[in-house]
A and B are shown apart, each in its own frame.
Chain A
């Protein structure tokens, strides 16, 4: 384990725990932003520049702002009752721990433990663009359609409900 990885990983996990456990929802959203930024840094460390910057642009620039706006529009930022856990909190944590143990066991016992990294390849944005326009052109079009549908859907759902009686 290298030092930069340890620092970034610690920051990411710490902020993720904070995002899931803090009382104030705005603090949760802000720590989530740190998690997203940490993940982007991990992507950069893995040589995926384009994905790392896209992660910052989409998650920090758009999704985090959306979440923050939703928090303010639903007045969730005001301190609520202290017990904000559901009744089955123990079950939830138990399931999650079990899931983690299963995944960690699978990872540590698998052949990927021996795999070493090939020398960093020179991934250019041009190569990604070329792939998107040739092999992946159909998924790209479908994503475009999906985003348009999602935008229209979101606007219609969140639009003011029209009163039936004047």
Chain B
């Protein structure tokens, strides 16, 4: 029964494809892999916008949206109809294009942003046997596609012919390039241990149990450090608070998409959130065991439920961080990337090598754990202290 439920979607797809003539089967199989991704993740985006506003509202001691329900009825659904209203609003709003703008590039930028972000989903394993495209170089594909989005931000910022949007785009690109390095280097540690660039194989490597506990990479010292580095870099890559400097509303009005309105603005919004989900799903696959269960007595829960559950938990943590951590200044943000994240990511690779080539037997496990953790914690404390000494007491020049 559990087996059936686990493979529910795989069987469903095979059953549907089986009805078609042989010539149509490859095409139908591709379509049936793409369509669910195009349905589920934009749907999750719609729900997340409401949950995020409600969550932020609760953090700020207010209620958030709680009025809009199903249109033309009196059912309120605790405000979960809000995304329908938002979508309709975005669709019927006037699309304003500045007169000085470069019309073609201005039009292409939001589309060019959404396409690579959607492509990134094609290598993520959503469950057992549930990966749209099992590429041998899946990790490289994900990073390659992710790096293509930077150029779209530039297109948006430059084509608007607005100082603020250009500044915002420049900041966004500088930030994304800086944080791409620790993001990739923390992923390299996983590749070193598993010896493969294929995401389903990385998940399989974590689907081993000692006693009842799974071999998730996050349960090792290098994996924990790598996951924390990955998580911080993913916040910066997705332009999320506390790294939302590129689109800081209160400082440079809205960054690279100031001059966008209506549906194009909604596309940027969609692209940003889909990018966030993709990078969270990638982190889950690399460090949090993908679709595997943490304990062997929980394996009866279907694999896709584990993946979606982990994804929703990550989204909740992103919302929580957005509501509680203040924004970093631009120079602090750069210093943090180059002087803290990058050295720690490189050190993490060294520790991973040490971990990989030491033997596993008896008490050595504990010794190995402590040595690897120590090598990571001591520089962390030293670097942290150096940073604190440099920042010093903050002076409020105009307030006092």
Taking a contact as CB atoms under 8 Å apart, the answer to whether A57 and B144 are in contact is: yes
Q: With A30-B105, A60-B147 given, is the CB distance from A65 to B173 under 8 Å?
A: yes
Q: With A65-B173, A65-B177 given, is the CB distance from A53 to B137 under 8 Å?
A: yes
Q: Which range contains the number of B residues in contact with the other chain?
A: 20 to 34
Q: How many whole Å from B259's CB to the nearest CB in chain A?
A: 16
Answer whether residue B47 sits at the interface, using C-beta atoms and an 8 A cutoff.
no
Kindly list chain B residues whose C-beta atoms are within 8 Å of the C-beta of A64. Answer: 151
Cβ < 8 Å to B, chain A residues 60-105: 60-62, 64-65, 68-69, 72, 77
Q: Which range contains the number of A residues in contact with the other chain?
A: 20 to 34
Q: With A60-B151, A65-B150, A126-B196 given, is the CB distance from A50 to B105 under 8 Å?
A: no
Taking a contact as CB atoms under 8 Å apart, the answer to whether A54 and B140 are in contact is: yes
Taking a contact as CB atoms under 8 Å apart, the answer to whether A124 and B151 are in contact is: no
Taking a contact as CB atoms under 8 Å apart, the answer to whether B147 and A57 are in contact is: yes
Closest to A60 in B: B148
Cβ < 8 Å to A, chain B residues 176-225: 177, 180, 195-197
CA distance A69 to B169 in the complex (A): 11
Query: Dominant SS at the A interface?
Result: helix
Q: How many whole Å from A72's CB to the nearest CB in chain B?
A: 8
Taking a contact as CB atoms under 8 Å apart, the answer to whether A62 and B105 are in contact is: no
Binding site for B on A (CB under 8 A): 26-27, 30, 33, 49-50, 53-54, 56-57, 60-62, 64-65, 68-69, 72, 77, 124-126
**Besides A56-B144, A68-B151, A126-B195, 5 other A-B contacts (C-beta < 8 A):** A56-B145, A61-B147, A62-B177, A125-B137, A125-B140
Can you offer 29 A-B residue contacts whose CB atoms are under 8 A? A26-B158, A27-B105, A30-B105, A30-B151, A33-B151, A49-B135, A49-B137, A50-B137, A53-B137, A53-B143, A53-B144, A54-B140, A56-B145, A56-B147, A57-B143, A60-B144, A60-B148, A60-B151, A61-B147, A61-B148, A62-B177, A64-B151, A65-B150, A65-B177, A68-B158, A72-B166, A72-B170, A124-B136, A125-B196
